[in-house]
């Protein structure tokens, strides 16, 4: 199976130790050998290793770097999966901050990973001068069936205080990380050397869901996302305060717990009774589906407000018996995964188009569409996180699920 690999190159460093060379430019944009720049080393390593999809995360004094990437690394246009694209700090964290390090830089751009749906994600620094066959590192990662692989080089122990040092066993498995510690553990069998991290990483994606499904003998293949749900309501809901006392139909689960904690009077009734319950006033609103599906159910005829509170993002997963999955040949696995991705894209595109037409129809039929402002969404998200914290305390797996879900929520916040 051909692996889909997405690369992030971290090019946001100030490079204060190279001043005055970095007075007017970021460290990765410092010239090297005439017309080249330091960033060219990692980009050349990636391209020559067959990794063609690269996002360059930029931040400080980036104009010179942007111009160099535009002039020297524009090779996209024919194939959408071959590109080198600069990405400024997206301010996706709750505090709308700049990148605060390697993890935060990737965290703020996790949506790019979700959109690309790669098998592997490479995260490499942009300020190293070296030559490396990254394909060998990818093959090593796959052979070891690793979740994460870190590139390192042996250096004399006397320099341990200048590097992040990896502690590992004789089989190469990582046991710990020591940041600039002169007493860092040495390489097994080499008491005078330590493994200095190069800051280059490879991660496998989809591991959390596969781990979850594996407990039940299932193999996770892919997911299907569509549009944010709207709440059909008989009353105007302009913010979280309007949820207090609201009689709303919600299926049992975390969304129900969240709306209840926000002050709503949650009612659990069958889906087939929602229309008549709204019509008669038994309920004021319903957690149902996206605008087009709400119209198909006729809910706009009895609920004259369609509220986008960003309260729920529908999704489903495609999973199969792990025993059956393990038994089929690799080419059929590849075909099945491709069909799931194609179906997901088709479903999402179809519902986006349907919802666009549905919103116009709602307005034409006298339904008022209300979209909550960011500050109200954030208030509801705060309540959501309280409910998630309670759920996370149930088990280690519940905690992992919440951590993954919260990361997704943070990075898709409006």
Mean pLDDT (the chain, rounded): 83
Cβ density class 190-214: b for 16+ within 10 Å, e for less: eeebbbbbbbbbbbbbeebbbebbe
Phi, psi (deg, nearest 5) at residue 304: -90, 15
Residue labelled with tokens 């830089």 = 105
Phi, psi (deg, nearest 5) at residue 13: -70, 145
CA separation for the pair 62, 22 (Å, rounded):
11
CA separation for the pair 62, 10 (Å, rounded):
12
Transcribe 255-311 into DSSP letters. Answer: HHHHHHHTT-EEE---GGGHHHHHHHTS-SEE----HHHHHHTTGGGT--EEEE---
Q: How confident is the model at residue 330 (pLDDT cuts 50, 70, 90)?
A: confident
Phi, psi (deg, nearest 5) at residue 29: -95, 0
Q: How confident is the model at residue 285 (pLDDT cuts 50, 70, 90)?
A: very high
Neighbour count for residue 66 (Cβ, 10 Å): 15
CA separation for the pair 25, 27 (Å, rounded):
7
Transcribe 350-410 into DSSP letters. Answer: HHHHHHHHHHHHHHHTTPEEEE--HHHHHHHHHHHHHHHHHHHTT-HHHHHHHHHHHHHHH
Half-sphere exposure of 359 (CA within 13 A, CB side): 16
Instruction: Name the more confident of 401 and 77.
Output: 401
* From 302-306, 354-358, 403-407, the region with the lowest mean pLDDT: 403-407
User: What is residue 414's predicted lDDT score, i.e. its pLDDT?
Assistant: 41
3-state SS class at 42: helix
**Tens digit of pLDDT for each residue in 156-202?**
999 999 888 999 888 888 888 898 888 999 999 899 999 999 989 99
Nearest residue to 410 via CA among 94, 114, 111:
94
**Tens digit of pLDDT for each residue in 72-95?**
887 655 556 788 888 876 665 555
CA separation for the pair 42, 61 (Å, rounded):
19
**Tens digit of pLDDT for each residue in 39-69?**
899 999 999 999 988 998 887 777 778 888 8
Is residue 174 within 8 A of residue 168, CB to CB? The reply is yes
**Tens digit of pLDDT for each residue in 220-279?**
888 777 677 899 999 999 999 999 999 999 887 888 889 999 999 998 887 788 899 999
Question: Residue 130 has which token pair?
Answer: 């070296």
Phi, psi (deg, nearest 5) at residue 399: -65, -45
CA separation for the pair 407, 414 (Å, rounded):
14
Sign of the torsion angle spanned by Cα atoms 109, 114, 116, 122: positive
Q: How confident is the model at residue 1 (pLDDT cuts 50, 70, 90)?
A: very low
Q: How confident is the model at residue 413 (pLDDT cuts 50, 70, 90)?
A: very low
CA separation for the pair 21, 55 (Å, rounded):
25
Is residue 81 within 8 A of residue 53, CB to CB? The reply is yes
* From 185-194, 209-218, 285-294, 298-307, the region with the lowest mean pLDDT: 209-218
Question: Residue 413 has which token pair?
Answer: 């916040």
What structural domains and CATH numbers belong to the chain?
Answer: 5-207 (3.90.550.10), 209-411 (3.40.190.170)
Is residue 314 within 8 A of residue 290, CB to CB? The reply is yes
Mode of pairing for the β-strands spanning 174-179 and 164-168: antiparallel
**Tens digit of pLDDT for each residue in 114-173?**
677 788 889 998 888 889 999 999 999 888 878 889 999 999 999 999 888 999 888 888
Query: How far from the centroid of its chain's Cα atoms is residue 237's Cα?
Result: 30
Stretch 202-224: mean pLDDT, rounded? 75
């Amino acid at each position: 199976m051909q692996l889909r690999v997405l690369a992030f190159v971290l090019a946001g460093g100030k490079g204060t130790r190279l001043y005055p060379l970095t007075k007017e430019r970021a460290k990765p944009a410092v010239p090297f050998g005439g017309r080249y720049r330091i960033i060219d080393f990692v980009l050349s390593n990636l391209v020559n290793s067959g990794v063609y999809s690269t996002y360059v995360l930029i931040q400080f004094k980036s104009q010179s770097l942007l111009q160099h990437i535009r002039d020297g690394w524009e090779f996209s246009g024919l194939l959408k999966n071959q590109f080198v694209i600069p990405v400024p700090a997206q301010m996706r964290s709750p505090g709308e901050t700049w990148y605060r390090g390697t993890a935060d830089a990737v965290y703020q751009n996790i949506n790019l990973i979700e959109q690309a749906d790669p098998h592997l994600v490479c995260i490499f620094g942009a300020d190293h001068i070296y030559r490396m066959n990254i394909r060998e590192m990818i093959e090593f990662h796959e052979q070891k069936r690793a979740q994460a692989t870190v590139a390192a080089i042996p250096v004399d122990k006397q320099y341990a205080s200048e590097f992040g040092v990896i502690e590992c066993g004789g089989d190469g498995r990582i046991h710990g990380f020591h940041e600039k510690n002169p007493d860092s553990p040495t390489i097994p069998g080499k008491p005078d050397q330590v493994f200095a991290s190069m800051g280059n990483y490879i991660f496998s994606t989809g591991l959390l869901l596969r781990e979850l499904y594996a407990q039940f003998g299932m193999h996770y293949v892919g997911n299907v996302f569509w549009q944010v749900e709207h709440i059909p309501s008989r009353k105007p809901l302009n913010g979280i305060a309007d949820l207090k006392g609201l009689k709303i139909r919600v299926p049992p689960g975390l969304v129900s717990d969240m709306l209840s904690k926000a002050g709503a009077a949650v009612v659990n009734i069958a889906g087939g009774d929602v229309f008549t319950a709204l019509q008669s006033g038994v309920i004021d609103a319903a957690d149902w589906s996206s605008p087009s599906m709400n119209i198909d159910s006729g809910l706009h005829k009895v609920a004259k407000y369609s509220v986008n509170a960003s309260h729920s993002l529908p999704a489903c997963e495609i999973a199969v018996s792990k025993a059956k999955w393990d038994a089929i040949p690799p080419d059929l696995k590849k075909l099945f995964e491709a069909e799931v991705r194609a179906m997901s894209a088709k479903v999402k595109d179809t519902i986006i188009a349907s919802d666009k037409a549905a919103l116009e129809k709602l307005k034409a039929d006298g339904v008022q569409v209300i979209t909550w402002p960011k500050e109200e969404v954030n208030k509801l998200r705060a309540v959501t996180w309280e409910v998630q914290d309670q759920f996370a305390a149930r088990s280690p797996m519940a905690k992992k699920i919440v951590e993954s879900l919260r990361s997704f929520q943070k990075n898709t916040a409006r």
